[in-house]
Amino acid sequence: QKLPSGRGTQREVAAMSCPGRRISAFAHIEDTAKFKPEDFRRAGINEADILEMKANFDLLDINGRGELDLDDVIDELQSFKIERIEQEPLMIAVRACRRKSSSADFPTFMDALAPLLAVTEPTEDALRRAWRLMDEGKRGIICVDDLARIVNKFQMGLTQEEISDMVAFADDNSNGEVSFDEFRAIVGQSALPAD
């Protein structure tokens, strides 16, 4: 699956994190034979997705222990100086795991990464849930401060200027605030029927 930024697949980004690691082709076959993707199946995720996540995990597991040292993984991924790495599903999942522990096994890694891959087209319900996260005061509008709070909460690494630009882009009537309809028009890209 290509990364949203068009820089390659998650596996390619993960492979960059351990360029000197030599992996035996037989080791991968042996690991694959033991690994049962059907044990990890869930709604919105197929076996190919699970195998891709397992391949990512294995590339990041440089010691081959079946457990990621999350601080090392974060350092390695950041060392590539990839623009907007913080917004990549792989990095978001690693950071989500890190908030809970300093290491992660495959089920934990998959629990963090799978929801990010299962997202397809936004539904009205998904947009309303996202809106409620941003509109904490239930005012019916969000402003730069609301979006900045969410960006900081989820460690998305956007600058204040980028956040202001996002609000200005969505703000059709130039009042400095974004309504749900303006939000839906941008995020839903007219994929959803109007109320």
Query: Is the pLDDT assigned to residue 30 strictly greater than 60?
Result: no
pLDDT-derived band at 188 (thresholds 50, 70, 90) equals low
Token look-up 């390619």 returns 12
Query: Is the pLDDT assigned to residue 41 strictly greater than 90?
Result: no
Query: Is the pLDDT assigned to residue 170 strictly greater than 80?
Result: yes
- pLDDT tens, position by position, 112-143: 888 777 655 567 777 887 788 788 888 999 99
Query: Is the pLDDT assigned to residue 105 strictly greater than 70?
Result: yes
The pairing of beta strand 141-142 with beta strand 178-179: antiparallel
- In sequence order, the 6+-apart residues with CB closer than 8 A to the CB of 16 are 80
- In sequence order, the 6+-apart residues with CB closer than 8 A to the CB of 48 are none
For range 4-31, the mean pLDDT? 47
Structure tokens at 6: 């068009």
- What pLDDT is stored for residue 129 in this prediction? 78
- What pLDDT is stored for residue 9 in this prediction? 53
Structure tokens at 104: 């992660």
